[in-house]
Amino acid sequence: MKPIKVGLLGMGTVGSGTFNVLKRNQEEIQRRAGRGIEITMVADLDVARAQALVGEGVQVVGDARAVIANPEIDIVIELIGGYGIAKALVMEAIAAGKHVVTANKALLAVHGTEIFAAAQAKGVMVAFEAAVAGGIPIIKALREGLTANSIQWVAGIINGTTNFILSEMRDKGLDFGVVLKEAQRLGYAEADPTFDIEGVDAAHKVTLMSAIAFGIPVQFDKAYVEGITKLGAADIKYAEQLGYRIKLLGITKRTAQGIELRVHPSLVPTQRLIANVEGAMNAVMVQGDAVGTTLYYGKGAGSEPTASAVIADLVDITRLHTADPLNRVPHLAFQPGAMSNLAVLPMAEVVTSYYLRLRVADQAGVLAKLTGLLADAGISIDAVLQREADQVSQAGENQTDVIILTHDTREGTLNEVLAQMQALPTVMAPIVRIRKEELN
């Protein structure tokens, strides 16, 4: 089957990430989608810059309407932003019968009712996973994964720029303005950063989540919005002393009287997971009556994290509209005919690092012997710890514990060294080995 053809409007931070990730992972994405997905036409005001980014094989134009007018294009990705030209282009793409993927939360939070109605009438999809919490699949979780639940509330850190500012101010004592400039440099901030710092961007996102969680129309105009600009450094410090962190939260909650929809700085107990979400990271908590509380964490902004969500929407649309109905949601995510025969490794081939605890005779030269065996096998040591003198008597007058952290090595190699260590007369008990995962 021929690839599905996609037109991309706006080759900026997210547009270039989308192009690059789709190109880099095209083979794997095709095996999931059941059909190739190709960006064949791009529009940007800066044609030369966009052409340099996509290379010669892709047509680049300055007029986005030329993309919409191209009958070969099935899906239009809108990554220009704002309510102006972006709204006109999205409405025109829908009118032309194209599916639309957008990261534009401002547009959907304010004009969503009109846009979704037009798409419904035309029988096309408007997909917007990237619009809320960037790369975190929160729209899919709310819309599909949690579909059995009566959702009670959703609360999240959904603006990377402000979370970055609050973290840097607290940890490094940096000035608000300096950190904001850095967030802009890193591509997190909106074209108009007042949207970030005044809570408007978070309100756009929580408005969309509220609609999906409670089945209500998008109603940005009803949201209470308070940003972080009036927050003093002293409040961040005092909150910390009282056991709280200040986070800009977007909250929407079902109550007997109606729906709460609000964005404001909030004190959150420091021991909560969400209080420890730092930098530009996002996290969304969802409370459902059946599932209880769930938490979704990840990068809410930036070029490729946001692209990840844009492409997930492209795959959804491709599957729904072109795949064999049986394989729209392939059982194992990849189309049945596109499974890989990658081998699952035997444990001996796994590479990881280790914590070792050895009960040894408390004699000179024992430690050197142990570290020598590791060195001979090419296993480097990250840290060594010997029990304190006052702990020795508990282990026995002539014995002590040695703890060794290794760097990464093959499990098979370590097993050979462990066997040699265990055979030493100075090793007095079975060696304890715990694998170590940095998970970063």
Ligand X SMILES: NC(=O)C1=CN([C@@H]2O[C@H](COP(=O)(O)OP(=O)(O)OC[C@H]3O[C@@H](n4cnc5c(N)ncnc54)[C@H](O)[C@@H]3O)[C@@H](O)[C@H]2O)C=CC1
Interface characters, 87-126, with ligand X (x: CB under 6 A): ----------------xx----------------------
Let me know if 87 is a catalytic residue: no
Instruction: Choose, from 87, 205, 253, 299, the residue flagged as catalytic.
Output: 205
Among 110, 283, 309, 360, binds Na ion (CB under 5 A): 309
Choose between 167 and 318: whose C-beta lies nearer to ligand LTNE7NMQ.
167
* Bridge pairing between strands 399-406 and 351-361: antiparallel
Q: Encoding tokens for residue 37? A: 């997905």
Strand (E) positions, 255-386? 259-269, 281-288, 292-299, 351-361, 381-386
Residue 201 interacts with Na ion (CB under 5 A): yes or no: no
Point out the residue whose Cβ comes nearest to ligand X: 12
**Binding residue count for Na ion, defined by CB under 5 A:** 6
Count of CB atoms within 10 A of residue 34's CB?
A: 22
- Rounded to a whole number of angstroms, the minimum distance from the CB of residue 141 to Na ion is 9
Among Na ion, ligand LTNE7NMQ, ligand X, none, what binds residue 129 when CB lies within 5 to 8 Å by partner kind? Na ion
Which stretch, 66-74, 284-292, 304-312, 361-369, contacts Na ion (CB under 5 A)?
A: 304-312
Residues that bind ligand LTNE7NMQ (CB under 6 A): 134, 159-161, 188-190, 196, 201, 300-301
Buried b (16+ CB within 10 A) or exposed e, 257-268: eebebbbbbbbb
Among ligand LTNE7NMQ, ligand X, Na ion, none, what binds residue 417 when CB lies within 5 to 8 Å by partner kind? none
Among ligand X, ligand LTNE7NMQ, Na ion, none, what binds residue 44 when CB lies within 5 to 8 Å by partner kind? ligand X
Beta bridge partners of 41: 7, 59
Choose between 188 and 214: whose C-beta lies nearer to ligand X.
188
> How far is it, in rounded angstroms, from Cα 125 to Cα 316?
10
Which stretch, 78-86, 214-222, 228-236, 268-276, contacts ligand X (CB under 6 A)?
A: 78-86
Among ligand X, ligand LTNE7NMQ, Na ion, none, what binds residue 81 when CB lies within 5 to 8 Å by partner kind? ligand X
Q: Which of 376, 383, 424 is nearest to 402 (CA)?
A: 383
DSSP letter string over 54-79? H-TTSEEES-HHHHHH-TT--EEEE-
In this structure, which amino acid lies at residue 151?
A: I
Count of CB atoms within 10 A of residue 85's CB?
A: 16
Radius of gyration of the chain (CA): 27
Residue 186 interacts with ligand X (CB under 6 A): yes or no: no
In this structure, which amino acid lies at residue 126?
A: V
- Directed axis angle between helix 85-95 and helix 105-122, to 10°? 20
Beta bridge partners of 151: 288
Reduced to 3 states, what is the DSSP secondary structure of residue 356?
strand
* Bridge pairing between strands 292-299 and 281-288: antiparallel
- Rounded to a whole number of angstroms, the minimum distance from the CB of residue 134 to ligand LTNE7NMQ is 5
Instruction: Tell me the catalytic residues.
Output: 205
Binding region for Na ion (CB under 5 A)? 129, 132-133, 136, 138, 309
Binding region for ligand X (CB under 6 A)? 9-15, 43-46, 64, 79-81, 85, 103-104, 130, 134, 187-188, 190-191, 301-302, 306
